[in-house]
Protein backbone atom coordinates (compact mmCIF):
# COMPACT_ATOMS: atom_id res chain seq x y z
CA UNK A 1 0.00 0.00 0.00
CA UNK A 2 3.00 2.25 0.64
CA UNK A 3 5.96 2.13 -1.70
CA UNK A 4 8.96 4.39 -1.38
CA UNK A 5 11.53 4.37 -4.15
CA UNK A 6 14.98 5.93 -4.29
CA UNK A 7 14.03 8.71 -1.93
CA UNK A 8 16.72 11.33 -1.38
CA UNK A 9 16.81 14.45 0.77
CA UNK A 10 19.61 16.93 1.42
CA UNK A 11 19.78 20.08 3.50
CA UNK A 12 22.28 22.17 1.56
CA UNK A 13 25.45 20.02 1.51
CA UNK A 14 24.18 17.56 4.09
CA UNK A 15 22.78 14.41 2.49
CA UNK A 16 20.31 13.13 5.07
CA UNK A 17 18.45 10.50 3.04
CA UNK A 18 20.68 8.88 0.46
CA UNK A 19 18.64 6.16 -1.20
CA UNK A 20 15.64 5.00 0.75
CA UNK A 21 13.47 2.14 -0.53
CA UNK A 22 10.79 0.27 1.36
CA UNK A 23 7.24 -0.96 1.26
CA UNK A 24 4.49 -1.31 3.84
CA UNK A 25 1.49 -3.52 3.24
CA UNK A 26 -2.01 -2.57 4.33
CA UNK A 27 -2.55 -3.21 8.03
CA UNK A 28 1.14 -3.65 8.75
CA UNK A 29 3.23 -1.89 11.37
CA UNK A 30 6.71 -0.78 10.32
CA UNK A 31 9.07 0.45 13.02
CA UNK A 32 12.09 2.58 12.18
CA UNK A 33 15.00 2.56 14.61
CA UNK A 34 18.42 4.12 14.42
CA UNK A 35 20.77 6.61 16.05
CA UNK A 36 19.88 10.23 16.56
CA UNK A 37 20.57 12.23 13.39
CA UNK A 38 20.23 9.26 11.05
CA UNK A 39 17.33 10.85 9.17
CA UNK A 40 14.32 9.10 10.71
CA UNK A 41 12.24 12.24 11.29
CA UNK A 42 13.24 13.63 7.91
CA UNK A 43 12.02 10.43 6.29
CA UNK A 44 8.61 10.64 7.99
CA UNK A 45 8.34 14.32 7.11
CA UNK A 46 9.10 13.58 3.45
CA UNK A 47 6.20 11.12 3.30
CA UNK A 48 3.70 13.97 3.73
CA UNK A 49 5.87 16.66 2.14
CA UNK A 50 6.41 18.52 5.42
CA UNK A 51 9.89 18.34 3.89
CA UNK A 52 10.24 18.35 0.12
CA UNK A 53 12.45 15.45 -1.00
CA UNK A 54 15.07 15.98 -3.71
CA UNK A 55 14.39 12.79 -5.63
CA UNK A 56 12.41 9.58 -5.64
CA UNK A 57 8.79 8.48 -5.64
CA UNK A 58 6.29 8.17 -2.83
CA UNK A 59 3.21 6.06 -3.36
CA UNK A 60 0.45 5.75 -0.75
CA UNK A 61 -2.73 3.95 -1.86
CA UNK A 62 -3.83 5.39 -5.17
CA UNK A 63 -1.62 8.50 -4.96
CA UNK A 64 1.87 8.45 -6.44
CA UNK A 65 4.15 11.46 -6.29
CA UNK A 66 7.27 11.53 -8.40
CA UNK A 67 9.47 14.15 -6.78
CA UNK A 68 10.93 15.08 -10.18
CA UNK A 69 7.55 15.86 -11.65
CA UNK A 70 4.39 16.54 -9.68
CA UNK A 71 1.48 18.93 -9.44
CA UNK A 72 0.39 20.88 -6.39
CA UNK A 73 -2.85 18.86 -6.26
CA UNK A 74 -0.84 15.64 -6.00
CA UNK A 75 0.71 16.90 -2.78
CA UNK A 76 -2.70 17.83 -1.38
CA UNK A 77 -3.91 14.31 -2.17
CA UNK A 78 -0.79 12.74 -0.68
CA UNK A 79 -1.15 14.73 2.55
CA UNK A 80 -4.68 13.41 3.06
CA UNK A 81 -3.30 9.87 3.08
CA UNK A 82 -1.37 10.18 6.33
CA UNK A 83 -1.65 11.69 9.79
CA UNK A 84 1.33 12.41 11.99
CA UNK A 85 1.75 12.00 15.74
CA UNK A 86 4.62 14.19 16.90
CA UNK A 87 7.00 13.82 19.79
CA UNK A 88 5.66 17.04 21.34
CA UNK A 89 1.95 16.34 20.65
CA UNK A 90 1.43 19.61 18.68
CA UNK A 91 -1.99 20.26 20.20
CA UNK A 92 -3.69 23.64 19.89
CA UNK A 93 -3.29 25.09 23.39
CA UNK A 94 -6.38 27.28 23.13
CA UNK A 95 -8.65 24.39 22.15
CA UNK A 96 -10.12 21.63 24.32
CA UNK A 97 -9.23 17.97 23.80
CA UNK A 98 -12.43 17.48 21.81
CA UNK A 99 -11.86 20.62 19.73
CA UNK A 100 -8.35 19.42 18.94
CA UNK A 101 -9.79 16.20 17.58
CA UNK A 102 -12.63 17.82 15.63
CA UNK A 103 -10.83 20.88 14.21
CA UNK A 104 -9.54 19.22 11.04
CA UNK A 105 -12.72 17.20 10.59
CA UNK A 106 -14.70 20.44 10.47
CA UNK A 107 -12.19 22.58 8.55
CA UNK A 108 -10.72 20.18 6.00
CA UNK A 109 -13.31 17.41 5.78
CA UNK A 110 -16.32 19.77 6.01
CA UNK A 111 -18.05 17.51 8.51
CA UNK A 112 -20.86 19.38 10.34
CA UNK A 113 -19.92 20.32 13.90
CA UNK A 114 -22.45 18.06 15.66
CA UNK A 115 -21.33 15.07 13.65
CA UNK A 116 -17.65 15.95 14.18
CA UNK A 117 -18.27 16.12 17.94
CA UNK A 118 -19.84 12.68 17.87
CA UNK A 119 -16.85 11.26 15.95
CA UNK A 120 -14.44 13.10 18.23
CA UNK A 121 -16.05 11.64 21.35
CA UNK A 122 -15.79 8.12 19.91
CA UNK A 123 -12.07 8.49 19.34
CA UNK A 124 -11.45 10.16 22.70
CA UNK A 125 -13.25 7.20 24.28
CA UNK A 126 -11.03 4.83 22.30
CA UNK A 127 -7.91 6.39 23.85
CA UNK A 128 -9.56 6.41 27.30
CA UNK A 129 -10.16 10.16 27.53
CA UNK A 130 -13.89 10.67 27.04
CA UNK A 131 -14.13 12.32 30.47
CA UNK A 132 -11.40 14.81 29.54
CA UNK A 133 -13.12 16.06 26.37
CA UNK A 134 -13.53 19.61 27.69
CA UNK A 135 -10.07 19.90 29.22
CA UNK A 136 -7.47 22.19 27.72
CA UNK A 137 -4.04 20.67 27.00
CA UNK A 138 -2.42 22.53 29.91
CA UNK A 139 -4.64 20.61 32.33
CA UNK A 140 -3.68 17.22 30.88
CA UNK A 141 -0.57 15.14 31.55
CA UNK A 142 1.91 14.57 28.73
CA UNK A 143 0.60 11.04 28.28
CA UNK A 144 -2.98 12.30 28.07
CA UNK A 145 -1.99 15.01 25.58
CA UNK A 146 -0.29 12.43 23.40
CA UNK A 147 -3.39 10.23 23.56
CA UNK A 148 -5.47 13.23 22.37
CA UNK A 149 -3.09 13.66 19.48
CA UNK A 150 -3.45 9.96 18.63
CA UNK A 151 -7.26 10.33 18.74
CA UNK A 152 -6.92 13.32 16.40
CA UNK A 153 -4.89 11.24 13.94
CA UNK A 154 -7.31 8.29 14.10
CA UNK A 155 -10.37 10.49 13.58
CA UNK A 156 -9.05 11.52 10.17
CA UNK A 157 -9.12 7.88 9.09
CA UNK A 158 -5.88 8.19 7.17
CA UNK A 159 -4.38 5.34 5.16
CA UNK A 160 -1.34 5.42 7.43
CA UNK A 161 -0.46 6.98 10.78
CA UNK A 162 3.12 8.22 11.15
CA UNK A 163 4.48 8.28 14.71
CA UNK A 164 7.68 10.23 15.35
CA UNK A 165 9.03 9.08 18.72
CA UNK A 166 5.60 9.34 20.36
CA UNK A 167 6.89 8.63 23.87
CA UNK A 168 10.25 10.43 23.86
CA UNK A 169 8.97 13.58 25.57
CA UNK A 170 7.16 11.73 28.31
CA UNK A 171 8.14 11.14 31.89
CA UNK A 172 8.95 7.43 32.25
CA UNK A 173 5.81 6.65 34.23
CA UNK A 174 3.63 7.98 31.39
CA UNK A 175 5.20 5.98 28.56
CA UNK A 176 3.23 2.77 29.06
CA UNK A 177 -0.24 4.33 28.78
CA UNK A 178 0.67 5.74 25.36
CA UNK A 179 2.28 2.50 24.16
CA UNK A 180 -0.82 0.65 25.31
CA UNK A 181 -3.03 2.88 23.13
CA UNK A 182 -0.76 2.32 20.12
CA UNK A 183 -0.84 -1.43 20.74
CA UNK A 184 -4.64 -1.39 20.71
CA UNK A 185 -4.63 0.47 17.39
CA UNK A 186 -2.09 -1.96 15.94
CA UNK A 187 -4.31 -4.97 16.49
CA UNK A 188 -7.13 -3.18 14.63
CA UNK A 189 -5.21 -3.44 11.36
CA UNK A 190 -4.25 0.22 11.21
CA UNK A 191 -1.27 0.77 8.93
CA UNK A 192 1.45 2.53 10.90
CA UNK A 193 5.04 3.67 10.60
CA UNK A 194 6.59 4.23 14.03
CA UNK A 195 9.93 5.84 14.74
CA UNK A 196 10.82 4.72 18.24
CA UNK A 197 13.58 4.05 20.75
CA UNK A 198 11.34 1.62 22.64
CA UNK A 199 12.97 -1.59 21.46
CA UNK A 200 10.76 -4.04 23.38
CA UNK A 201 7.69 -2.28 22.09
CA UNK A 202 8.98 -2.27 18.48
CA UNK A 203 9.78 -5.94 18.74
CA UNK A 204 6.32 -6.78 19.99
CA UNK A 205 4.15 -4.60 17.78
CA UNK A 206 5.95 -4.54 14.40
CA UNK A 207 5.54 -6.68 11.33
CA UNK A 208 8.78 -5.26 10.00
CA UNK A 209 11.65 -3.18 11.38
CA UNK A 210 14.10 -0.91 9.57
CA UNK A 211 17.44 0.07 11.07
CA UNK A 212 18.65 3.37 9.61
CA UNK A 213 22.09 4.90 9.88
CA UNK A 214 23.79 7.69 7.96
CA UNK A 215 20.84 8.17 5.63
CA UNK A 216 20.65 4.55 4.51
CA UNK A 217 18.55 1.56 5.48
CA UNK A 218 21.29 -0.66 6.89
CA UNK A 219 19.04 -3.58 7.65
CA UNK A 220 15.39 -4.51 7.39
CA UNK A 221 13.58 -7.54 8.65
CA UNK A 222 11.05 -9.26 10.82
CA UNK A 223 11.51 -8.09 14.43
CA UNK A 224 12.56 -11.54 15.65
CA UNK A 225 15.34 -11.56 13.03
CA UNK A 226 16.43 -7.95 13.29
CA UNK A 227 16.51 -7.92 17.09
CA UNK A 228 17.31 -11.58 17.67
CA UNK A 229 19.84 -12.17 14.93
CA UNK A 230 21.02 -8.87 13.41
CA UNK A 231 23.19 -9.36 10.33
CA UNK A 232 25.12 -6.10 10.38
CA UNK A 233 27.60 -5.06 13.06
CA UNK A 234 26.04 -1.59 13.19
CA UNK A 235 22.62 -3.00 13.90
CA UNK A 236 24.03 -5.29 16.56
CA UNK A 237 25.88 -2.57 18.44
CA UNK A 238 22.92 -0.18 18.25
CA UNK A 239 20.55 -2.75 19.72
CA UNK A 240 23.01 -3.80 22.43
CA UNK A 241 23.55 -0.23 23.44
CA UNK A 242 19.82 0.32 23.97
CA UNK A 243 18.94 -2.88 25.76
P1 LIG B 1 16.64 11.66 13.44
O2 LIG B 1 15.17 11.89 13.47
O3 LIG B 1 17.02 10.30 12.98
O4 LIG B 1 17.31 12.01 14.74
P5 LIG B 1 16.66 13.91 11.63
O6 LIG B 1 15.88 13.44 10.43
O7 LIG B 1 15.96 14.78 12.58
O8 LIG B 1 17.28 12.63 12.35
O9 LIG B 1 17.95 14.67 11.16
C10 LIG B 1 18.88 14.11 10.26
C11 LIG B 1 19.95 15.14 9.95
O12 LIG B 1 19.38 16.20 9.22
C13 LIG B 1 20.60 15.77 11.19
O14 LIG B 1 21.95 15.97 10.93
C15 LIG B 1 19.87 17.08 11.31
O16 LIG B 1 20.66 18.04 11.93
C17 LIG B 1 19.59 17.44 9.87
N18 LIG B 1 18.39 18.26 9.68
C19 LIG B 1 17.12 17.88 10.00
N20 LIG B 1 16.25 18.86 9.68
C21 LIG B 1 16.97 19.87 9.15
C22 LIG B 1 16.66 21.16 8.61
N23 LIG B 1 15.38 21.59 8.55
N24 LIG B 1 17.66 21.93 8.15
C25 LIG B 1 18.94 21.48 8.19
N26 LIG B 1 19.31 20.28 8.68
C27 LIG B 1 18.35 19.48 9.14
MG1 LIG C 1 13.89 12.45 14.99
CATH number, position 94? 3.40.50.300
Task: Give me the number of domains the chain comprises.
Answer: 1
ipTM tops 0.85? yes
Q: Which residues are near ligand 2, the ion (C-beta closer than 5 Å)?
A: 41
Q: Give distance in angstroms: CA of 151 to centre of ligand 2.
A: 22
What are the per-10-residue average pLDDT scores of the chain (243 residues)? 98 97 97 97 97 98 97 96 97 98 95 98 98 98 98 97 97 96 92 96 97 97 97 95 78
11 alpha carbon, closest ligand: 1
The answer to whether 96 touches 134, Cβ cutoff 8 Å, is: yes
Ligand closest to the CA atom of residue 34: 1
DSSP one-letter string for 125-154: HHTT-GGGTT--GGGS-HHHHHHHHHHHHH
What residue owns the CA closest to ligand 1's atom 19? 42
* Cα 190 to ligand 2 centroid, rounded to whole Å: 22
Ligand 1 atom nearest to 51, measured from its CA: 23
| Ligand 1 pocket residues where CB is under 6 Å | 11, 14, 16, 34, 36-42
pLDDT at site 187 = 87
What is the radius of gyration, based on Cα positions, of the chain? Answer: 18
CA–CA separation, 182 and 80 (whole Å): 21
In terms of residues, how long is the chain? 243
Closest listed ligand to the CA of 165: 2
Q: Which range marks the domain in which residue 222 is found?
A: 1-242
Distance 164 CA to ligand 2 centre (A): 7
pTM to 2 decimals?
0.96
Q: What is the pLDDT of residue 92?
A: 97
Q: Which atom of ligand 1 is nearest to the CA of 165?
A: 2
Q: How far is the CA of 93 from the centre of ligand 2 (A)?
A: 23
**CA-angle at 152, arms to 148 and 155, nearest 5°:** 130
Amino acid sequence: MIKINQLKKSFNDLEVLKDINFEVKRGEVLSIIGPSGSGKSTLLRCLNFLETPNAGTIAIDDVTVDVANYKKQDIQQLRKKSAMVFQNYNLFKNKTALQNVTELLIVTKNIPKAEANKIGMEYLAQVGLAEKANNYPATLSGGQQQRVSIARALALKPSVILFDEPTSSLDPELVSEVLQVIRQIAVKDTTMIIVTHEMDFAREVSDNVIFMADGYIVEEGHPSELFGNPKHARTKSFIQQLS
